């Protein structure tokens, strides 16, 4: 195919001077001259760099043979407009590279002179790949947000703390749509449980010093129920250190709170069962202790014993430590303090189950047992209390 320009057509790049030739050879812009039947008459070297075909290989192809099949109809439509009115509207399409992949080109300025079309395109594949990557990343983030239940937000640092952004999954978590949040500046603040609101606002002030605050509080769902929320907020600053806005996340932790409450209730029940108070007579109460006694259980011993003494109006209390596995200084001190507290109520206290190792520890620690009666066995302690109390009612 002849590459000479026919009469009455602009000369090729070689005839426009050295400066133009240098630009034509090095530019990334894709210059091309096409015939009405799609024959490629002239193409800038940038085509070779973009598609991988040499210029002779390009000239051996018809232009439409390189267009992606899905873009062929729209491409011919655009070139028909160009030939009809010398006006070309920018559009994009895909062209086959030598390796079989496709480059996306964006077409800009063009002109029709006689039966020749002169046009300029630009390879936007990298930009499109970036957009595709961003779209994929966005879709991945949305999936992760939906799966995790974490709601992302940002708010302005004004009096209302009006939201400037909130993730789409907020409706699933808290009932209100993103539009409702963004159009109602005080929706979040006003929905915080009244008992928690003052504390949350006070803790929020620390954001400007610590740059990060974490809070847990109750928030009213759109259905009227209260949900426990874990709220973590960070402060964004400009290069000069001035606050710009705050952003963070909300996570519904109601199930965790319910679980913790259930565990606490079970622990309290077990603790109560581990400190039983058994009436032997109207005047004598026995508390047998079994297992380990830590500071929490020691406190429960005192509470249960004092409340039981008040309810039963007993005159004698027997603390039996036969089943306690290990007595240390802390436990011994707690038991003695419990006995003294009972004596303040006018109750005589007997400590039973004193083994040799326990007696040795009490002596070593120099614990004051004044006012306490001790026995090696529970039976001996009960017999002593019954003799001293006289005929029981």
At residue 68, does pLDDT exceed 50? yes
Q: What is the mean pLDDT of the chain?
A: 82
φ and ψ at residue 386, rounded to 5 degrees: -70, -40
Which pLDDT belongs to residue 6?
44
Distance between CA atoms of residues 110 and 210, nearest Å:
58
Q: What is the mean pLDDT of residues 290-301?
A: 77
Any idea where the domains of the chain sit in the sequence? Answer: 13-123, 133-257, 274-389
pLDDT confidence of 140, banded at 50, 70, 90?
A: low
Distance between CA atoms of residues 298 and 332, nearest Å:
10
Lowest mean pLDDT among 141-150, 155-164, 193-202, 228-237: 141-150
CB 212 within 8 A of CB 231: no
CB 43 within 8 A of CB 32: yes
Q: Which CATH architecture has domain 13-123?
A: 2-Layer Sandwich (3.30)
> pLDDT tens digit string along 17-32?
556 677 778 788 888 8
3-class DSSP string for the chain: CCCCCCCCCCCCHHHCCHHHHHHHHHCCCEEEEEECCCEEEEECCHHHHHHCCCHHHHHCCEHHHHECHHHHHHHHHHHHHHHHHCCCCCEEEEEECCCCCEEEEEEEEEEEECCEEEEEEEECHHHHHHHHHHHHHHHHHHHHHHHHCCEEEEECCCCCCCEEEECCCHHHHHCCCHHHHHHCCCHHHHHECHHHHHHHHHHHCCHHHHCEEEEEEEEECCCCCEEEEEEEEEEEECCCCCEEEEEEEEEECHHHHHHHHHHHHHHHHHHHHCCCCEECCCCEEEEEEEECCCHHHHHHHHHHHHHHHHHHCCCEEEEEEEEECCCCHHHHHHHHHHHHHHHHCCCEEEEECCCHHHHHHHHHCCCCCCCCEEECCHHHHHHHHHHHHCCCC
> pLDDT tens digit string along 299-348?
888 888 888 888 888 889 888 888 777 777 777 788 888 888 888 888 88
Which pLDDT belongs to residue 195?
96
pLDDT confidence of 365, banded at 50, 70, 90?
A: confident
Q: What is the mean pLDDT of residues 374-384?
A: 89
Predicted TM-score (pTM) of this structure? 0.45
Q: Which residue has the higher pLDDT, 297 or 135?
A: 297
pLDDT confidence of 372, banded at 50, 70, 90?
A: confident
Domain 133-257 in CATH 3.30.450.20? The answer is yes
Q: Which CATH architecture has domain 274-389?
A: 2-Layer Sandwich (3.30)
CB 215 within 8 A of CB 207: no
Which pLDDT belongs to residue 1?
39
Q: What is the mean pLDDT of residues 4-10?
A: 46
Q: Do domains 13-123 and 133-257 have the same CATH topology?
A: yes
User: 171-200 b/e with 16+ CB inside 10 Å = b?
Assistant: bebbbbebeebeeebebbeebbbeebeeeb
Distance between CA atoms of residues 178 and 164, nearest Å:
10
> pLDDT tens digit string along 196-222?
999 998 888 888 888 999 999 999 999
At residue 2, does pLDDT exceed 50? no
Lowest mean pLDDT among 92-101, 211-220, 265-274, 358-367: 265-274
Q: Which residue has the higher pLDDT, 44 or 265?
A: 44
Q: What is the mean pLDDT of residues 378-386?
A: 90
Q: What is the mean pLDDT of residues 284-296?
A: 80
């Amino acid at each position: 195919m002849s590459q000479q320009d026919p009469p009455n057509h602009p000369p090729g790049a070689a005839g426009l001077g050295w400066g133009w030739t240098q630009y034509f050879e090095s530019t990334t812009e894709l210059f091309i001259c096409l015939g009405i039947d799609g024959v490629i008459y002239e193409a800038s070297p940038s085509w070779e760099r973009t598609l991988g075909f040499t210029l002779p290989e390009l000239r051996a192809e018809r232009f439409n043979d390189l267009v992606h099949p899905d873009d062929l109809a729209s491409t011919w439509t655009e070139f028909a407009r160009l030939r009809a009115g010398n006006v070309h509207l920018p559009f994009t399409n895909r062209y086959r590279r030598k390796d079989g992949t496709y480059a996306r080109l964006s077409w800009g300025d063009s002109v029709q002179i006689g039966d020749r079309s002169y046009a300029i395109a630009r390879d936007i594949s990298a930009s499109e790949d970036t957009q595709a990557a961003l779209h994929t990343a966005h879709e991945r983030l949305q999936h992760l947000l939906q799966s995790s239940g974490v709601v992302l937000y940002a708010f302005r640092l004004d009096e209302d703390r009006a939201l400037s952004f909130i993730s789409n999954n907020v409706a699933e978590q808290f009932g209100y749509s993103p539009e409702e949040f963004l159009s109602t500046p005080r929706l979040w603040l006003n929905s915080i449980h009244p008992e928690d609101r003052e504390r949350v606002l006070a803790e929020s002030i620390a954001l400007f010093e610590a740059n990060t605050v974490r809070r847990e509080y109750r928030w009213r769902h759109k259905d009227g129920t209260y949900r426990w929320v874990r709220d973590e907020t960070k402060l964004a600053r400009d290069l000069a250190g001035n606050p710009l806005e705050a952003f963070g996340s909300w996570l519904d932790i109601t199930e965790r709170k319910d679980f913790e409450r259930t565990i606490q209730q079970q622990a309290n029940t077990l603790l109560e069962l581990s400190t039983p108070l058994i009436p032997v007579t109207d005047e004598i109460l026995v508390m047998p202790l079994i297992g380990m006694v830590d500071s929490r259980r020691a406190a429960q011993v005192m509470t249960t014993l004092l409340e039981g003494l008040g309810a039963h109006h007993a005159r004698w209390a027997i603390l039996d430590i036969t089943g306690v596995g290990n007595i240390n200084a802390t436990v011994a001190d707690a038991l003695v303090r419990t006995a003294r507290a009972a004596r303040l109520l006018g109750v005589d206290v007997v400590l039973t189950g004193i083994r040799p190792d326990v007696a040795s520890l009490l002596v070593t620690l120099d614990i004051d047992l004044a006012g306490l009666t001790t026995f090696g066995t529970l039976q001996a302690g009960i017999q002593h209390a019954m003799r001293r109390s006289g005929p029981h009612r």
